[in-house]
Amino acid sequence: MASTALLVPLVLLSAVLHATWNAVVKAAHADRLTTQSLVIWTSCVAGAATVPFVPAPAPESWPFIALSTIVHTLYYVFLLLAYRDGELSRVYPIARGTAPLLVALLATVLVGEALSVAQSLGVVLVSLGIVSLTFERGLPKGSERRAIVAALLTGLTITAYTLIDGMGVRRSGSAIGYIAWLFAIEGIPFGVAALVLRGAPSLSAPAADWAKAIAGGLIATIGYGIAIWAMGQAAFAGIVSLRETSVVFGAVIGAVFLGERFGPIRYLAAALVASGNLLLHLWR
């Protein structure tokens, strides 16, 4: 098992990387479906390029890779629907905020991971801080409501693939093998669907959009690869809650680079997330 001193900074790095690739998709000047498909194809290529050099995952883990592929496809669809109508700094926290609490509850049932009272309170604080952004401007209306529904559905898929991959990597016998094969396979259904729907518009996209999408794909691959490895080392709920500090980074990126506002509610949300993670990782 890796030490907390190693896990915490690596998972925080994963959080920063995740917020960054989501910002790439949200800020895309080309069609977001095209950008998302380029991000995903980059991850597929990176995974496939790694496969020959790593041990194959154990047979027991392959059903988890297959199921994760299905859930990830739904995740990409709901994520795009959420970004179609909503701001990064609002949609992203809602999508990520449902996962820590649900993972903590389901991990207790599925893998017997019990949290202390202090750690349970930490998960609740993280989730409250993140989801509080839903109502920062009152009850959502119109397109905001659609974006929030899509973000919540995204959150459910995040919960599902997190648990699936956490259980899969623990059965794999090779974390790097599981990660490589997952990335080589899981983006194919969405990527093929994007090609069918759009043809190949990415071929005429500006070079800057190509570069951003490819960078986003590499960032996404490294970021989630770290998270999967970490779930093989420590309790799911702690890893997921720490990784979902990405919402704070996402809000900052939205404010600084995308011109979205960062008001008092978002500062409060950041404080709750930080406090919850202190309880999770420092109070055993």
Q: What is the mean pLDDT of residues 102-109?
A: 76
Q: Is the predicted pLDDT of residue 57 greater than 80, yes or no?
A: yes
User: Considering the chain, what is the average pLDDT of its residues?
Assistant: 79
Determine contact, residues 167/112, Cβ cutoff 8 Å.
no
Contact status, residue 69 vs residue 185, Cβ threshold 8 Å? yes
CB 34 within 8 A of CB 174: no
Domain ranges of the chain: 4-282
More confident residue, 202 or 41: 41
Quick one: pLDDT at residue 74?
94
Greater model confidence, 26 or 39: 39
More confident residue, 61 or 107: 61
State the Cα–Cα distance between residues 222 and 229, nearest whole angstrom. Answer: 11
Name residue, tokens 């055993």. 284
The segment with the largest mean pLDDT, out of 48-52, 224-228, 253-257, is 48-52
Tens digit of pLDDT for each residue in 122-179?
778 877 877 776 666 666 666 677 888 888 899 899 889 988 999 999 999 999 999 9
Can you read off the two tokens belonging to residue 88? 């990064």
Structure-model confidence comparison of residues 47 and 7, the more confident one:
47
Does the structure show a pLDDT above 60 at 91? yes
pLDDT grade for 262, boundaries at 50, 70 and 90: low
The pLDDT, as a whole number, for residue 79 is 85
- The model's pLDDT over 189-236, given as tens digits with 9 standing for 90+, comes to 988 888 777 666 555 566 667 777 788 888 888 888 888 888 887 777
- Phi–psi pair at 58, nearest 5 degrees: -65, 150
Instruction: Please give the share of the chain, as a percent, with pLDDT higher than 70.
Output: 78
**This model's pTM is above 0.85:** no
DSSP 174: -
